[in-house]
């Protein structure tokens, strides 16, 4: 077996040194009834060639985003990733290292985390950020729990235009924590009036921008209304590239900002691994209640600058049942991919990428909504918009796929049984060419 270095001669010699006569003796503590006679009922080992053949066959049953005019978004977006990103994250020193608990031999990972935290803070317009969460949806749930700890209140209000998977993940995380969560009704093309009636005992209001239908919002009035009631505003984004063109949530008054970082450096990955971004105010009460890892600056015994994981007294391996969260990993390698891509982009590249995505979406929205019977529901958007179709959107998406166009997400897939059967959520990015737009327009005309 190519991955196992011990030879039979080694094994015999080692057993002798240990003083037992067979490897079975090493498993003597296993109850007799649970000992298997032989290997489990699965196939025997395979060569590299065989595995490659088998998995390639399975992969070919999927249509890759790069194989078709592609306009699917709703929480994950296809953007260009420079080749150097994937090369760098496959360097052994990053790929095959553990959590940087031994800082003297982990400065590579620690410095990149410190740079990552700084970039996330700058991108969101916030003061500090952690070293990432599993993904945007779990970051959202953790932010709600954090807001409850900070305000010592037990209620949260979720905007109805928050991605339903984010709302569901938040409900799950809060389910047994004695936290009451209220969901506003969704309002495609607008926003539920979340600021109107915030009760005095609410810890936070959670608003996504651009929302799940693509509509963009001014968060400032919501922040103001929340703050008047002593509640926090948690701003959520699922498209990090939108921040290349839009006002930051920090500038609009958000207290905690969470989002999905997948569109920078990570790729689609069929939904995971992605990378959750988590930023907040630099206030002692906030920092003390932050979930997840933090890298911090310090000096070594020679006085040279170095970085360590810090404030671990919040974390489960120290505080156990009093920890801020049970989370024990970050999205390590994905934070690296994110930070490398962001370092290549800089302000200039990020703005261009965002501008191109916005322009393509605007052009596409104009062209598709000019088709008879099609109506644009979202009047202000970044790179994603919602159309009302004269037919069932799920059927239209299937029919488009048969014509070789991956044309968006039917809103009914995210909001089953809510009467959104005619709504289609469409995303465009800088990767879409003019001929992609032509193909989508032509196919939609044929299908309707």
Nearer to another protein, 372 or 419 (CB): 419
Judged by CB under 8 A, does residue 183 bind another protein?
Answer: no
Distance between CA atoms of 351 and 212, rounded to whole angstroms? 22
Closest approach, Cβ 129 to another protein, in A, equals 7
Distance from chain centroid for Cα 384: 17
Distance between CA atoms of 99 and 104, rounded to whole angstroms? 13
Closest approach, Cβ 65 to another protein, in A, equals 5
Nearer to another protein, 42 or 196 (CB): 42
Chain positions 37 to 56 lying near another protein, rule: CB under 8 A, are: 39-46, 48, 50-52, 54-56
**Is residue 391 exposed (0-12), middle (13-18) or buried (19+ Cβ within 10 Å)?**
middle
Judged by CB under 8 A, does residue 435 bind another protein?
Answer: no
DSSP character string of 305-340: EEEEE--GGGSHHHHGGGSS-------HHHHHHHHH
Judged by CB under 8 A, does residue 329 bind another protein?
Answer: yes
Chain positions 117 to 176 lying near another protein, rule: CB under 8 A, are: 117-119, 121-123, 125, 127-129, 131-132, 134-138, 163, 165-166, 168-169, 171-173, 175-176
Nearer to another protein, 25 or 442 (CB): 25
Judged by CB under 8 A, does residue 446 bind another protein?
Answer: no
User: Which residue's structure tokens are 């069929």?
Assistant: 270
Site string for another protein, 366-385 (x = CB under 8 A): --------------xxx---
Identified binder of another protein from the candidate list 269, 438, 442, 445, rule CB under 8 A = 269
Site string for another protein, 1-30 (x = CB under 8 A): xxxxxxx--xx-xxx-xxxx--x-xxxxxx
Distance between CA atoms of 34 and 28, rounded to whole angstroms? 11
Nearer to another protein, 147 or 246 (CB): 246
The total of other beta-carbon atoms located within 10 Å of residue 42's CB is 5
Distance between CA atoms of 237 and 44, rounded to whole angstroms? 46
Nearer to another protein, 181 or 232 (CB): 181
Distance between CA atoms of 286 and 96, rounded to whole angstroms? 33
Identified binder of another protein from the candidate list 159, 161, 331, 386, rule CB under 8 A = 331
Distance between CA atoms of 105 and 162, rounded to whole angstroms? 42
Distance between CA atoms of 262 and 198, rounded to whole angstroms? 32
Chain positions 382 to 401 lying near another protein, rule: CB under 8 A, are: 382, 397-398, 401
């Amino acid at each position: 077996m190519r991955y196992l270095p011990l030879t039979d001669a080694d094994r015999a010699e080692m057993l002798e040194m240990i003083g037992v006569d067979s490897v079975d003796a090493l498993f003597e503590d296993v109850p007799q009834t649970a000992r298997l006679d032989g290997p489990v009922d699965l196939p025997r080992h395979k060569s590299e060639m065989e595995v490659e053949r088998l998995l390639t066959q399975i992969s070919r049953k999927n249509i890759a985003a790069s194989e078709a005019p592609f306009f699917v978004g709703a929480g994950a977006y296809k953007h260009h990733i420079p080749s150097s990103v994937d090369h760098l994250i496959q360097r052994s020193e990053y790929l095959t290292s553990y959590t940087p608990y031994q800082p003297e031999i982990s400065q590579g990972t620690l410095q990149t985390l410190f740079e990552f935290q700084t970039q996330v803070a700058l991108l969101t317009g916030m003061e500090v950020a952690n070293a990432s969460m599993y993904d945007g949806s779990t970051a959202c749930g953790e932010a709600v729990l954090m807001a409850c700890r900070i305000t010592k209140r037990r209620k949260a209000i979720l905007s109805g235009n928050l991605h339903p998977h984010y709302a569901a993940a938040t409900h799950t995380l809060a389910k047994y924590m004695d936290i009451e969560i209220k969901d506003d009704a969704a309002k495609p093309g607008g926003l539920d009036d979340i600021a109107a009636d915030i009760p005095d005992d609410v810890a936070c209001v959670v608003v996504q921008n651009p929302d799940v239908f693509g509509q963009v919002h001014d968060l400032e009035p919501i922040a103001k209304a929340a703050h008047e009631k002593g509640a926090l505003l948690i701003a959520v984004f699922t498209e990090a590239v939108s921040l290349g063109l839009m006002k930051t949530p920090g500038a609009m008054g958000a207290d905690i900002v969470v989002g999905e970082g997948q569109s920078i450096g990570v790729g689609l990955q069929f939904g995971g691994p992605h990378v959750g971004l988590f930023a907040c105010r630099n206030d002692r009460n906030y920092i003390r209640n932050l979930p997840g890892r933090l890298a911090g600056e310090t000096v070594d015994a020679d006085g040279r600058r170095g970085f360590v994981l810090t404030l671990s007294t919040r974390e489960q391996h120290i505080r156990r049942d009093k920890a801020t969260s049970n989370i024990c990993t970050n999205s390590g390698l994905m934070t690296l991919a994110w930070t490398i891509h962001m370092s290549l982009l800089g302000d200039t590249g990020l703005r261009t990428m965002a501008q191109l995505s916005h322009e393509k979406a605007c052009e596409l929205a104009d062209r598709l909504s000019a088709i008879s019977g099609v109506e644009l529901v979202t009047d202000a958007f970044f790179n994603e918009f919602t159309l009302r179709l004269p037919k069932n959107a799920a059927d239209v998406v299937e029919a488009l796929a048969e014509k070789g166009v991956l044309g968006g997400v039917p809103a009914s897939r995210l909001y089953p049984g809510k009467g959104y059967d005619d709504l289609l959520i469409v995303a465009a990015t800088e990767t879409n060419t003019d001929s992609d737009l032509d193909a989508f327009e032509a196919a939609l005309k044929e299908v309707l």
